[in-house]
Amino acid sequence: MTTNQPETIGTERHFPCAQCGAKVEFSPGTQSLACPYCGHENAVPQSEVQVEEEDFRAALDELSRGDDQQDYLDVKCDACGAEVHGLGSTTALSCPYCNSNIVATAKSRRLIKPKALLPFRVTREQAQKSFTEWLGGLWFAPSELKQAAINEGRLGGMYMPAWTFDCDATTEYTGQRGDAYYVTVPYTYVANGKTRTGMRRERRIRWSPAAGTVFNRFDDVLVLASHSLPREHAEALEPWDLKEVVPYDDAYLSGFGAESYQVDLPTGFAEGRAKMRPMIQQTIRADIGGDEQRIASMSTRHERVTYKHILLPAWISAYRFRNKVFRFMVNARTGEVRGERPWSAPKIAGAVLIGLVIVAAIVFFATR
């Protein structure tokens, strides 16, 4: 009798179809592994275990001892620096992030195991449609871009590594409170060729010292743990529905790739603290009160810090246009598209020329 229990072949786990034994892949938008041969759907066992936060300080101690880690065989792309695992015995491939041809020179690393992930929800066909619509909405793009990108861009499903952090932040601050008041002052102006004097109200600020302590509680501050994609585009895929993460299971990765984290846990928390800072400053300004505020110093204690190592799903591809590679990605939960794009110099020049003509026409008729 055939079962759908995973089989480990080399370093890659295969999931056989319970009906015919063929390799099955996770079907986006479902909770099952679909067989491409007999059509049978193999359900992914649903864990009753809740995704829990991990203690950050304890994790740092475990890292120093090598606990709670597992070995990964990573393949690094020399063109963009992506480090991908889960490729099994593959030795030659195209990089899913930049479409460069690379030869797998695997290296083993001990990394923190992911404990949760967001499964793929958007299908490849839906992602391709979203990308095509995104291309069609680009202003000042070369006319032949759409066809070239569709022909060359091959969508690949990838899980991107990320950290999320929870913590309590207690901040002592000093600064100044500014209270507005108004005074009436004289001013001079010219009317009908004569200098005249009038009165007007001017806003002034009265500053006074301020100091205090504020408290912030942060939940699921997200830090992407990859440098393989342009950070501004990857972050533009947010928000992610992080409350929908499920416990990690290899079955969700069947048919998809996964990148190893390049931003380690301590560095990730440092980036997380930087993301928390604007919210803390906002809380300080509210605590100072008044009409304006100045913050002179901040001293923050981050306590009860917890984290999760999670994987985020994205459809990723790259296309070459006029000898340059452009990368794009689709949020595999929402269908949001972000990416790099070329510009058409003739179209931009034409738009500028039309604008100058319109301005010249307005000036001409205004002076008549």
Does residue 40 form part of some domain? yes
109 and 140 belong to one structural domain: yes
Does residue 186 form part of some domain? no
218 and 311 belong to one structural domain: yes
Percent of the chain scoring above 70 in pLDDT: 71
Give the number of domains in the chain: 2
Token pair of 72 as six digits: 């990964």
In the predicted model, is pLDDT for residue 2 greater than 60? no
Residue-number span of the structural domain to which 322 is assigned = 47-172+212-348
Does residue 68 form part of some domain? yes
7 and 127 belong to one structural domain: no
168 and 308 belong to one structural domain: yes
Does residue 102 form part of some domain? yes
Token pair of 171 as six digits: 């901040």
Average of pLDDT values for 245-271?
Answer: 89
33 and 58 belong to one structural domain: no
- Collapsed DSSP state (helix, strand, coil) of residue 54: strand
Pick from 85-89, 183-187, 284-288, 302-306: least confident: 85-89
236 and 263 belong to one structural domain: yes
Does residue 222 form part of some domain? yes
In the predicted model, is pLDDT for residue 143 greater than 70? no
pLDDT, tens only, 55-99: 888 888 877 666 556 655 566 666 666 666 544 333 345 666 666
283 and 256 belong to one structural domain: yes
pLDDT, tens only, 297-330: 999 999 999 999 999 999 987 766 666 777 778 8
- Collapsed DSSP state (helix, strand, coil) of residue 346: helix
Cβ-based neighbours of 44, under 8 Å, separated by 6 or more = 26, 31, 32, 33, 249, 251, 252
pLDDT for the residue numbered 17: 77
pTM, two decimal places: 0.76
Does residue 179 form part of some domain? no
65 and 129 belong to one structural domain: yes
Chain Cα centroid distance, residue 342: 22
